[in-house]
């Protein structure tokens, strides 16, 4: 007598999406209400007054660029499979992208500080435009060159838009509290736009990826052009290449010789490494042992959790909780590290595993704007791009190593890679503890401003 095992495709309950949406909405609205009832004359946020037109325009440009970035990464594996790439070739394409980021991205950060971040943001759009046009006119584009371009674009996206916004904010003399709001708004909008990019990709492709693969390239080209327009408009940034020697001296003095900034670099590198490892391994982890899962519905849950985490940032910074940023980051890093430790330790039921993934992204949603705030406290604006791009170098090197050893040669298990990411997050928590001890004087001076 045979035994028939029925397979059931697991997908999250629809109520989860409703819960995340209303949780984000309540977090924002309740914070606005608490600011009204507990107003502080020395604190001004977006809930007290509207954003300046320049910052509103920036957020629109950043949102379009976020959709563009998401559209380039969401269907990547399906696209490579459609071109006939094997698993090993897919891993090598990722390696090419991270190798390009390892050797070129740090130079781009320094170059951005010297010639202006608007120009580097424009480079981000041009890279996506180039890849989109190439795929439109070529049936089998050189995927290695495309991976290099997209890897560089991803690196630029991770540092240049934030630095451009901070520099423009400082030039226009807006209050520091407005800058803190911009940090969490950028994190919130990036996750929301990534969800939007998934919806656009699904709508364009429909039920046949092979027949409609060209429509994704067309959408990429249109979005790239749409991003270029607001970036090229407005006043031009003056070139500062003549001051490169002064920049080198300043970077050595205020970045390389400051142990507090090295702690920030390490913390940023650890969270970026954990995120890179997560997005590479989350799907293989969920479908382990032949489990059937609707991955397309889990993806927006994860990003929605990140949105919810970013809305908690103003509560900790200027809300009723009012926790010091270093303490907030210490706890968030510890929770994220514990979550990844549990994931790497043992097999988990799908629902519990997805819950852990959502908790991890909620922590990341809080960590990213918090680190951005600390960079504003410790890093001079004219050196911010170089400092942020410097933190990408160890991330790219580590991911490249684990991709080759784990993904290509299969010498390292996925659980081991996730465990290394968890250790990195715990070490980042330790760096926040040290930063708290070494930065007390600067913190007290900041609050007196």
List the single range of 111-120, 242-251, 377-386, 400-409 with lowest mean pLDDT: 242-251
Does residue 295 form part of some domain?
yes
CA dist., res. 75 & res. 201, Å (int): 7
Q: How confident is the model at residue 368 (pLDDT cuts 50, 70, 90)?
A: very high
**pLDDT of amino acid 178:** 85
- To the nearest 10 degrees (0 to 180), the angle between helices 117-137 and 143-172 is 150
Does residue 4 form part of some domain?
no
**pLDDT of amino acid 449:** 43
Q: What is the pLDDT of residues 163-217, one digit of tens each?
A: 999 988 888 877 777 888 899 999 999 999 999 998 998 888 876 666 667 788 8
Question: CB-hemisphere CA count at 13 Å for 301?
Answer: 23
pLDDT greater than 60 at residue 44: no
Length in residues, the chain? 449
Q: How confident is the model at residue 146 (pLDDT cuts 50, 70, 90)?
A: confident
Does residue 313 form part of some domain?
yes
Does residue 24 form part of some domain?
no
Q: What is the pLDDT of residues 73-103, one digit of tens each?
A: 866 677 777 777 788 888 998 999 999 999 9
Does residue 375 form part of some domain?
yes
Which residues on neighbouring strands pair with residue 293, listed in sequence order? 10
Q: What is the pLDDT of residues 281-317, one digit of tens each?
A: 998 898 887 778 888 899 999 999 999 999 999 888 8
What's the number of domains the chain is made of? 1
How large is the average pLDDT for residues 52-64? 90
Q: What is the pLDDT of residues 248-277, one digit of tens each?
A: 889 999 999 999 999 999 999 999 999 999
List the single range of 167-171, 326-330, 421-425 with lowest mean pLDDT: 167-171
Does residue 47 form part of some domain?
no
Q: How confident is the model at residue 319 (pLDDT cuts 50, 70, 90)?
A: low
pLDDT greater than 70 at residue 36: no
**Domain of 432: which CATH number?**
1.20.1250.20
**pLDDT of amino acid 4:** 38
Which of 65, 430, 355 minimizes the C-alpha distance to 231? 65
Which of 104, 106, 391, 434 minimizes the C-alpha distance to 268? 391
117 alpha-carbon distance from chain centroid: 18
Range(s) of the domain holding residue 199? 52-442
**pLDDT of amino acid 305:** 97
**pLDDT of amino acid 442:** 52
Which of the pair, 428 or 347, is modelled with greater confidence? 428
CA dist., res. 231 & res. 57, Å (int): 10
> In the predicted model, what is the mean pLDDT of the chain?
86
Does residue 369 form part of some domain?
yes
Q: How confident is the model at residue 243 (pLDDT cuts 50, 70, 90)?
A: low
Does residue 306 form part of some domain?
yes
pTM, entire model: 0.92
């Amino acid at each position: 007598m045979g035994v028939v095992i029925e397979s059931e495709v697991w997908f999250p309950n629809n109520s989860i999406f409703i819960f995340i949406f209303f949780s984000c909405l309540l977090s924002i609205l309740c914070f606005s209400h608490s600011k009204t009832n507990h107003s502080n004359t020395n604190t001004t946020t977006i809930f007290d007054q509207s954003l300046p037109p320049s910052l509103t325009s920036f957020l629109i440009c950043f949102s379009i660029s976020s959709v563009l970035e998401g559209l380039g990464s969401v269907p990547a594996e399906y696209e490579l499979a459609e071109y006939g790439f094997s698993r090993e070739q897919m891993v090598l394409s990722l390696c090419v992208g991270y190798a390009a980021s390892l050797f070129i991205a740090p130079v781009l950060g320094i170059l951005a500080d010297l010639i202006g971040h608007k120009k580097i943001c424009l480079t981000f759009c041009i890279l996506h435009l180039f890849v989109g046009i190439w795929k439109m006119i070529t049936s089998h584009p050189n995927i290695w060159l495309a991976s290099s371009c997209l890897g560089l674009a991803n690196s630029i996206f991770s540092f240049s838009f934030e630095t451009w916004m901070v520099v423009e904010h400082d030039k226009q003399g807006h209050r520091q509290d407005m800058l803190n709001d911009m940090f969490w708004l950028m994190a919130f909008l990036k996750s929301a736009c990534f969800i939007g990019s998934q919806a656009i990709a699904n709508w364009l492709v429909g039920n046949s990826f092979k027949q409609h693969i060209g429509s994704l390239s067309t959408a990429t080209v249109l979005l790239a052009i749409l991003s270029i327009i607001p970036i090229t408009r407005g006043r031009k940034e003056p070139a500062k290449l003549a001051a490169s020697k002064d920049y080198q001296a300043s970077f050595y003095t205020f970045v390389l010789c400051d142990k507090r900034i090295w702690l920030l670099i390490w913390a940023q590198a650890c969270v970026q490494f954990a995120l890179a490892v997560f997005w590479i391994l989350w799907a293989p982890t969920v479908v382990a042992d032949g489990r059937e899962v609707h991955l397309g519905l889990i993806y927006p849950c994860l990003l929605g959790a990140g949105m919810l985490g970013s809305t908690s940032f103003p509560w900790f910074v200027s809300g009723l909780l009012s926790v010091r940023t270093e303490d907030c980051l210490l706890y968030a890093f510890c929770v994220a590290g514990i979550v990844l430790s549990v994931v790497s330790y043992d097999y988990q039921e799908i629902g519990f595993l997805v819950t852990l993934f959502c908790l991890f992204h909620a922590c990341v949603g809080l960590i990213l704007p918090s680190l951005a705030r600390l960079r504003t406290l410790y890093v001079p604006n004219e050196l911010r791009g170089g400092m942020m791009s410097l933190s990408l170098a160890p991330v790219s090197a580590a991911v490249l190593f684990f991709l080759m050893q784990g993904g290509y040669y299969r010498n390292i298990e996925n659980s081991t890679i996730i465990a290394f990411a968890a250790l990195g997050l715990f070490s980042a928590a330790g760096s926040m503890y040290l930063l708290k001890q070494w930065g007390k004087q600067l913190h007290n001076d900041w609050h007196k401003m």
